[in-house]
A and B are shown apart, each in its own frame.
Chain A
Amino acid sequence: MDEPSATQPPPPDADADAGADARAHAGAGVIATRGLTKRYRGGQLAVDGLDLTVPAGSVFGFLGPNGSGKTTTIRMLMGLIAPTSGTARVLGQPMPRASRAVLPQVGALIEGPALYGFLSGRDNLTRYDAADPTADPRTRRTRVAQALDRVGLSAAAGKKAKAYSLGMKQRLGLAAALLQPRRLLVLDEPTNGLDPQGMREIRTLVRELAFDGTTVFLSSHLLDEIEQVCTHAAVMAQGRLVTQGAVSDLAAGARGRLVVTTPDPGDAARVLKEQGVGDLVVAEDRVTGEPPERDLAEVNAALVTAGVRVRGFGVERASLEDAFVALTGEGFDVAG
């Protein structure tokens, strides 16, 4: 039964120890990596000393521009590639050694869906389910039907997968991740190639799953996507972890901006400068800047006293994008 290989999980009698191990490490996060590093054979350093901790029950956004090492990290977490150095624990157990105990509890969508084009959507799921040693063949049909229903593919279940649109393929890939109740879902850019409606549906699904208690690890290069669904986030740039934490904390790290809407932008800018507002930017009828330490009510009063007609006055909440720019000193669309 056991598979004597470096990349294989331990023999079944070691599972008991592994279970105790898992409970002992429960506090360490659903995913915990230490110094995780991957240098590809070509010499490309794709992930560099990653220390990542994903809290249980979180919707964790793994954010970074294309080429920043997100997929490489996920491949290591799923035991598909071996780290060059460092360690990764998933559900408290070491990967890739404990693959056989860990992976049945993990649903994954990695670098887009991959399907057998000559099989129907339903048969694709049946095949992936048959590959899971813990999947009960007696409930296979029902679970496949439920997974198809959950992603809205019931009507197209009998169609050959090669006739599916990109969005349908993506949903079928998601359905494969949902064939069993999972403790962890790893979704690598799940909204890639979807239209806005499809994106919304994925977000709704992620929220539902999180509500059910599944930890969701979601990679994306889209900031607003992470902001909309994630409770926690980590930011990657060029293979390195820039920051990680609760989304609210990350956004709070970057201060909001004062925004004044007025038909007299020139006068407004002059008054605001006198009031100690820094980094002023004037764009048509909008003047924005870094809010001063003093009470904003006084700033507003000064504008009115100077005869500036004010239409709108307020502080815009800092976005994750602001936080990213503040952290990396560069725009988000820079490829690694």
Chain B
Amino acid sequence: MSRVEAAVPAGAVDVPRRPGPLWTFGLLRSELVTTFRRWRTLALLGVLAAVPVLVGIAVRIETGDGSPDGRGGGGPAFISQITNNGLFLVFTALAATLPFFLPMAIGVVAGDAIAGEAGAGTLRYLLVAPAGRTRLLLTKYATTIAFCLVATLVVAASAMLVGALLFPLGDLTTISGTRITFAEGLGRAALIALVVAASLTGVAALGLFVSTLTGSGIAAMATTVGLLITVQILDQIPQLHAIQPYLFSHYWLSFADLLREPVYWDDLVRNLGLQGLYAAVFGTAAWARFTTKDIST
């Protein structure tokens, strides 16, 4: 081991160093890089990218016999339109992944956010660095939100690519029956992707809260995904219609209203409001828990 100049006599460091103004972004950057370099994150994104490919190929094979408008009935929304316009694969893929694949991926990343670091012991070193508990939690939430956006964009981009390769593109018909140009359709698709990403912020906050409750990443991921499945089941039971408007997934498919002319905003606004409520409630709960928690792993 060699001596280097890094060591300065104690007298020279008497004045406490001050935090740099951009420090928070340094931590956020480190968090983003660390999250997206994990093999697991990439695997989740890979699975999400594969869904539109499978849907596109399936639709192509189904309709390959020459019947151009194979209305098979059933399947995710918009699936029957894909053969006319590849852009509809974007809407179909988002409608197919939003109920389960997307929130499950978010649940894994959010659930692991704090609990995974606690389980690995790296949390104690981040805290003695000192990252600051509030700031670390905010950074974790921001990173999870970034993952929501990236995951949604991966589905949309993969669908767009497959749609363009396998099907014709062009002007499209809205749900209301009006025609819009392909460019405007693309704009709507981008807006829908943003709304879908925003739809996931509630489950992200829930996952983060669960993550502050345990020292095991696996347990937190499983709990979050379990809660997701439970909520999705509750949302299907007719006798529970009184509570259903408060389930985070209740208005998820309202993104389709962006394909109406004029756009029907009521459920879209309700969805975003509900996500905000979940983020506020579970974000606060996560903060209250994490800032007072004993970190003994």
Q: Which residues of A pack against B, CB within 8 Å? A: 3-9, 15, 19, 40-41, 56-57, 72, 75, 78-82, 99-101, 103-106, 108, 110-112, 114-116, 118-119, 126-134, 136-137, 143, 146-147, 149-152, 176, 178, 180-183, 201, 204-205, 208-209, 212-215
Contacts and interface: CB of A to CB of B under 8 A. Distances in A.
Contacts of A130: 26-27, 29-30
Nearest to A99: B130
B136 to A, nearest CB: 8
B133 A7 contact: yes
A328 B86 CA distance: 81
Given A81-B295, A137-B20, A106 B132 contact: no
Contact of A126 (B9, B19, B30): B30
Given A3-B134, A133-B20, A146-B5, 4 more contacts: A118-B38, A134-B19, A212-B10, A214-B10
B133 A212 contact: no
Contact of A103 (B4, B38, B128, B287): B128
A143 B6 contact: yes
Given A105-B16, A115-B122, A131-B27, A80 B291 contact: no
B125 A116 contact: no
Given A8-B291, A119-B34, A151-B1, A104 B130 contact: yes
A55 to B, nearest CB: 13
B133 A3 contact: yes
A134 B128 contact: no
B129 A183 contact: no
Contact of A116 (B1, B2, B34, B296): B34
Given A116-B34, A152-B1, A133 B8 contact: no
Most A C-beta atoms less than 10 A away, residue of B2, B23, B130, B294? B130
Contacts of B38: 118
A114 B296 CA distance: 13
Interface residues of B, number: 51
B6 A7 contact: no
Interface in B275-297: 287, 291-292, 294-296
Contacts of B11: 213
A176 B1 contact: no
Contacts of A111: 121, 124
Given A127-B30, A137-B20, A183-B13, A132 B129 contact: yes
Interface string B1-45: 111111111111110111110110011011000100111000000
Nearest to B127: A80
B6 A146 contact: yes
A213 B128 contact: no
A149 B2 CA distance: 7
B280 to A, nearest CB: 16
Q: Closest 7 CB pairs between A and B?
A: A114-B121, A133-B19, A134-B17, A213-B10, A131-B129, A130-B30, A103-B130
Nearest to A126: B30
B120 A5 contact: no
Nearest to B9: A213
A146 B7 CA distance: 10
B124 A114 contact: yes
B131 interface: yes
Nearest to B134: A3
B190 to A, nearest CB: 32
Interface in B119-148: 120-122, 124-136
B130 A100 contact: yes
Given A133-B20, A181-B7, A6 B291 contact: yes
